[in-house]
DNA sequence: CGGCATACG
DNA sequence: CGTA
DNA sequence: GCCG
């Protein structure tokens, strides 16, 4: 019941696209009962403009004729009106004496000619509907026969595992308890230690996948070629009278019409699947739903499902680029990379808890996500995975093979089996994970690094912070800075076996920073810009990136030296430790390095797919390569610093040469 | 039903 | 295998 | 999981 609530949607969207509902309105039809537009004999264009006009006047539209108080259509006779209603599952008896416009008697439905609306829209003022009414009926129960409707997903009431033991965080591990780790299980995990690593049949991560499969696929048909948001005037879809179901259906239909009024973004209408070719802002309208998908994606990560990761990443990136709050799963299913599964998740999400106008929607949820958040397995694996130097495999080993459940377990039973960097990762677990880096601190760190580079290598060294900072995030997990120098000659010359002049430079710069006291640990120092540096002799292909086209990288732990103790804490430096990556690029690689290190991940993957498809090139942050010849594509990514080009300019030129076109870093937040 | 980004230690 |  |  109460199906005709206010449309619980704020059409105001952060970006562009004026909404008809926002237009200054002289004509105000908001007091009218819900209006249903009969699509019969109307073109889609006509229908659409009528909808827009009505919505612009604040009228309440519904796509459920059963809820309508007024039905408007190309109908001229009483009998026709009655039949149109009946054809849509609305049974009624004529009310003689009639009633007049405006009033909304319960259970009454009036069929009105279109002229009524067009006249109002032309005049800009309300018009008595009386003279246009062709039929007034009183709704009655249909003769028997009930139709099956959409099934509501069962809620709640699902496996409630005995969860309970909290492992209160464990805090940063400060103690280095020595312990033999040969007998992994002893004393730990009370028998849980036997669970299999590879195929834990009872694993919630596995079950979550199965659950998902069982759900009705809930597919929405999509058009070939140009894809439009499905229009409900399509007969097949219309056939079903969804009434007799409380709530949702009515809102669904009602909301649905709103979805049709929005300008379809190009990437949707053109079915454009490369996230590098469209804007993806940091804070998209559907960020809450996205965060739930990210949780599911993480579950896929933790269950070693690489393809699931790709699939969810694609969907997330697509939704993140969508400039409107999604209203229905049908609307969602028109986005590239979002089909049955994704839209069925949204269906569950949007119906999980009603959200009213003005409210945040973060009380909505998805069942499998709740299960994940409640499961010890998921939350513990996630925690282990958060240790720098611990990947999925190791996290699973900790959990399933060793039976560990907390950081304390790791320290107590496994410390000596950890690699050096893992030990560092554990030691600073909290600082790395909980304490994000404010932008101002990122900038300070960058200044110090650039200064160090200039000190050891001259004033022409320049740098640019990439990563999340460059994409506009207010807080960063780490600092990624790309350094370069405009003179090729600096990177030529001797090539020991170990890899290029760039490595020497990064060594000198890090040395300077260490000496100055900023670096507490060096996790890695050497070749590889992360996404590749060039190595020669791939096969026969000459090409040869020389070592002068090689990136170098340092991964550091950093700590601000200036410490102002709040008196009682003492003089020890308690500033949080920070993860800092320094990438050193010769000028020939500067553009690709910056583009490659700015991210986000899905943007990068799609960029590589696009460049491969469009040109047959291979992109990595050390250069652009022709796959056939193996040759480096000339000029791409070269920094013309000697000619006064800036680093950002260089990246811009590269993006254009790649056929991608310029995209602001702030618009590369593919989630 | 194959493909899904890429490279390095 | 881990990192990005 | 989605696409061609």
Closest CA to A75 of A121, A135, A28, A19: A135
Same domain, A489 and A344: no
Kindly report the pTM of this predicted structure: 0.69
Gap from A600 CA to B8 C1', Å: 20
Domain membership of residue A298 (yes or no) is yes
Q: How far apart are CA A446 and CA A155, in angstroms?
A: 50
Answer whether A609's CB lies under 8 Å from A533's CB: no
Are A464 and A581 in a shared domain? yes
Positions of strand C less than 7 angstroms from a protein CB:
1-4
Structural domain includes residue A83? yes
CA A157 to C1' B2, whole Å: 40
pLDDT digits (tens, 9 = 90+) for A568-621: 777 899 999 999 999 999 999 999 999 999 999 999 999 999 999 999 999 988
> Predicted confidence band at A424 (pLDDT cuts at 50, 70, 90)?
very high
Q: Is residue A157 part of a domain?
A: no
> Do A630 and A489 sit in the same domain of this protein?
yes
More confident residue, A172 or A141: A141
CATH number, residue A379:
1.10.150.20
Instruction: Reply yes or no on whether the pLDDT at A421 is more than 60.
Output: yes
Least reliable range by pLDDT among A315-329, A462-476, A537-551:
A537-551
Query: Measuring from the CA of residue A545 to each C1', which nucleotide is nearest?
Result: B7
Tokens of A136: 């007034």
* Confidence band of A293 (pLDDT split at 50, 70, 90): very high
Would you say residue A515 lies in a domain?
yes
**pLDDT at residue A647 tops 80:** yes
Residue A289: count other Cβ atoms within 10 Å of its Cβ: 25
Please indicate, yes or no, whether residues A329 and A465 belong to a single structural domain of this protein: no
Alpha-helix runs per DSSP H in A569-626? 590-598, 601-615
Query: Given pLDDT bands bounded at 50, 70 and 90, which one contains residue A79?
Result: low
pLDDT band at A498, cuts 50/70/90?
Answer: low
How many angstroms separate the CA of A605 from the C1' of B4? Answer: 9
Residue nearest to nucleotide B5 (CA to C1'): A605
> How far in angstroms lies nucleotide C3's C1' from the CA of residue A391?
9
Q: What per-residue confidence (pLDDT) applies to A8?
A: 27
A555, A639: one domain = yes
Q: Which of A111, A140, A169 is the last residue of a domain?
A: A140
> What is the CA A522 to C1' B9 distance in angstroms?
14
Asked if A114 and A74 count as a contact pair (C-beta separation under 8 A), the reply is yes
pLDDT value at A418 more than 90: yes
SS3 A219: coil
The pLDDT-based confidence of A211 (bands split at 50, 70, 90) is low
CATH of the domain at A255: 1.10.150.110
Note the pLDDT of residue A254.
52
- In A 557-586, which Cβ lie closer than 7 Å to strand C? 579, 581
Q: Which range among A24-38, A101-115, A150-164, A347-361 has the greatest average pLDDT? A: A347-361
Supply the pLDDT for residue A403: 98
Segment A288-293 shows an average pLDDT of 98
- Residue that terminates a domain, selected from A105, A140, A175: A140
Residues A489 and A418 in one domain: no
The model's confidence at residue A96, banded by pLDDT at 50, 70 and 90, is confident
Q: Based on the fold, state whether residues A334 and A381 are members of the same structural domain.
A: no
The spacing between the Cα labelled CA in A458 and the C1' in B5, in angstroms, equals 35
Of A211 and A514, the one with more pLDDT: A514
Q: Distance in angstroms, CA of A307 to C1' of B2?
A: 13
Residue with tokens 């997903």: A153
Pair A28, A57: CB distance under 8 Å: yes
| Domain coverage including residue A582 | 434-535+544-563+574-667
- Cβ contact A530 with chain C strand, < 7 A: yes
Mean pLDDT of the residues in chain A:
78
Closest nucleotide to the alpha carbon of A312, via C1': D1
Note whether A301 and A205 are within 8 A (CB).
no
- CATH assignment at residue A55: 3.40.50.10190
The helix, strand and coil proportions of chain A, stated in percent and rounded to the nearest 5, come to 40, 10, 45
- Closest nucleotide relative to residue A467's CA, C1' based: C4
The domain total for chain A is 4
Closest CA to A73 of A28, A41, A33: A41
Does position A162 have pLDDT exceeding 50, yes or no? no
Higher-confidence position of A263 and A99: A263
Q: Which residue is nearest to nucleotide D3 (CA to C1')?
A: A337
Strand B bases with any atom < 7 A from protein Cβ: 3-9
Our measurement of CA A631 to C1' B8, in angstroms, reads 21
Q: What is the pLDDT of residue A253?
A: 54
Q: Distance between CA A560 and CA A519 in Å, rounded?
A: 9
Same domain, A515 and A580: yes
Cα angle for residues A335, A341, A346 (degrees, 5° grid): 70
Asked if residues A580 and A558 have their Cβ atoms less than 8 Å apart, the reply is: yes
């Amino acid at each position: 019941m109460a199906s005709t609530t206010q449309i619980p949607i704020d059409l105001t969207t952060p970006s562009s696209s004026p909404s008809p509902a926002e237009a200054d309105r002289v004509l105000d039809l908001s007091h009218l009962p819900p209006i249903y537009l009969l699509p019969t004999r109307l073109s889609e264009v006509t229908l659409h403009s009528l909808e827009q006009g009505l919505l612009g006047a604040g009228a309440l539209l519904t796509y459920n004729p059963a809820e309508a108080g007024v039905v408007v259509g190309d109908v001229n006779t009483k009998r026709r009106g009655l039949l149109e209603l009946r054809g849509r599952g609305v049974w009624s008896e004529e009310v003689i004496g009639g009633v007049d416009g405006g009033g909304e008697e319960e259970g009454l439905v009036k069929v009105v000619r279109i002229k009524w609306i067009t006249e109002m829209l032309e005049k800009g003022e309300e018009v008595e509907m009386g003279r246009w009414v062709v039929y007034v009926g009183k709704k009655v129960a249909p003769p028997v026969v009930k139709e099956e409707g959409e099934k509501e997903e069962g809620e709640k009431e699902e496996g409630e595992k005995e969860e309970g033991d909290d492992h209160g965080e464990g805090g940063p591990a400060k103690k280095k308890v020595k312990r033999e780790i040969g007998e992994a299980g002893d004393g730990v995990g009370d028998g849980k230690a036997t669970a299999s690593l590879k195929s834990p049949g009872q694993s919630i991560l596995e079950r979550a996948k199965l659950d998902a499969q069982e759900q009705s696929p809930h597919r929405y048909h999509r058009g070939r070629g140009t894809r439009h948001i499905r229009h409900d005037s399509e007969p097949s879809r219309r056939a079903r009278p969804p009434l007799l179901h409380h709530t949702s259906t009515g809102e669904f239909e009602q909301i649905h019409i709103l979805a049709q009024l929005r300008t379809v973004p190009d990437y949707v209408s053109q079915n454009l699947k490369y996230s590098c070719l469209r804007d993806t802002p940091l804070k998209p309208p559907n960020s809450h739903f996205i965060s739930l998908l990210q949780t599911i994606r993480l579950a896929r990560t933790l269950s070693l499902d690489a393809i699931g990761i790709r699939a969810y990443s694609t969907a997330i990136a697509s939704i993140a680029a969508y400039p409107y709050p999604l209203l229905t799963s049908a609307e969602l299913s028109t986005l590239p990379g979002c089909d049955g599964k994704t839209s069925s998740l949204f269906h569950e999400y949007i119906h999980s808890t009603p959200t009213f106008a003005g409210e945040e929607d973060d009380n909505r949820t998805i069942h499998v996500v709740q299960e994940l958040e409640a499961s010890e397995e998921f939350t513990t694996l996630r925690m282990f995975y958060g240790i720098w130097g611990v990947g999925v495999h190791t996290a699973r080993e900790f959990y399933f093979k060793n039976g560990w459940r907390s950081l304390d377990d790791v320290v107590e039973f496994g410390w000596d089996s950890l690699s050096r960097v893992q030990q560092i990762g554990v030691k600073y677990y909290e600082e790395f994970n909980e304490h994000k880096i404010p932008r101002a601190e990122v900038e300070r760190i960058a200044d110090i690094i650039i200064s160090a580079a200039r000190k050891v290598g001259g004033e022409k060294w320049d740098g640019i912070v990439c990563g999340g900072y460059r994409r506009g995030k207010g807080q960063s997990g780490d600092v990624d800075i790309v350094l370069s120098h405009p003179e090729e000659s600096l990177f030529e010359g001797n090539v020991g076996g170990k890899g290029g002049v760039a490595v020497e430079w990064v060594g000198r710069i890090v040395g300077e920073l260490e000496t100055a006291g900023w670096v507490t640990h060096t996790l890695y120092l050497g070749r590889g810009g992360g996404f590749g540096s060039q190595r020669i002799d791939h096969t026969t292909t000459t090409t040869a990136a020389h070592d002068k086209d090689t990136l170098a990288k340092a991964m550091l732990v950093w700590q601000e030296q200036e410490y102002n103790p709040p008196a009682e804490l003492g003089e020890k430096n308690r500033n949080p430790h920070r993860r800092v990556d320094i990438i050193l690029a010769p000028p020939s690689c500067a553009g690709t390095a910056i583009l490659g290190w700015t991210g986000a991940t899905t943007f990068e993957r799609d960029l590589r797919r696009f460049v491969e498809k469009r040109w047959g090139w291979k992109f990595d942050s050390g250069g652009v390569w022709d796959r056939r010849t193996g040759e480096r594509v000339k000029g791409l990514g070269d920094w013309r610093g000697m000619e006064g080009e800036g680093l950002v300019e260089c990246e811009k030129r590269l993006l254009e040469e790649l056929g991608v076109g310029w995209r602001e870093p702030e618009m590369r937040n593919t989630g």
